[in-house]
Homo-oligomer: A and B are copies of this chain.
Amino acid sequence: MSARLPPERRQELAARLRSARLRVTTPRLIILDALLRVGGHRSVEDVLRHLQREGIRLPRATVYNVIRSLVSSGLVMVADVGPGRMLVESAERWHHHFVCRECGSVIDVPCAVGAKPCLEPDLPGAEVEEAQIIWRGVCPRCVAARAEGGLDARDQETLSRPTGGSI
């Protein structure tokens, strides 16, 4: 498969994997690299397409496997922002999401606390690992578009790509 990663990058990623007690494998390096390079959130299919564009073909099952292991070791996070919309992203900075019900875009919102369990549930005896907040409403762009005299907000059609990188 020959992951096209510079040696030092490869070393850095491998170190991350090892420190998370994960074996260093090529698919893991590739996917971790892709998720770290892109700041924002991506669907799994986005990741697949991205890799394909770079000439790397990984089975979907592998991508899901890798993501699962990365998630369970805390290197990346997933957010469910709607049915069939599992978003994957680097967990370097904990954050939350705003989902626009008009254009469907998902916007990252920084976590006020910054650390992982930023809220405590009223649930005695539970071990809380993380708290994710999903806001729903109308995003600033759609609000503005509406204010500008009924412009159709759906012009944007950037569904879930507003933080877009190249992935």
Contact = CB atoms under 8 A, between A and B. Distances in A.
Interface of A: 80-86, 96, 98, 101, 107, 109-110, 112, 117, 119, 121-140, 143-144
A123 B109 contact: yes
B110 A122 contact: yes
A123 B140 contact: yes
Given A80-B83, A84-B83, A135 B119 contact: yes
B137 A129 contact: yes
Given A80-B82, A83-B84, A125 B137 contact: no
12 contacts: A83-B86, A109-B123, A121-B135, A123-B139, A125-B144, A126-B138, A126-B140, A128-B136, A129-B136, A131-B135, A132-B133, A134-B134
Contacts of A109: 121-123
Nearest to A101: B129
Contacts of A112: 122
Given A82-B80, A86-B83, A130 B137 contact: yes
A137 B133 contact: no
A81 B81 CA distance: 9
Contacts of A134: 80, 131-134
B131 A133 contact: yes
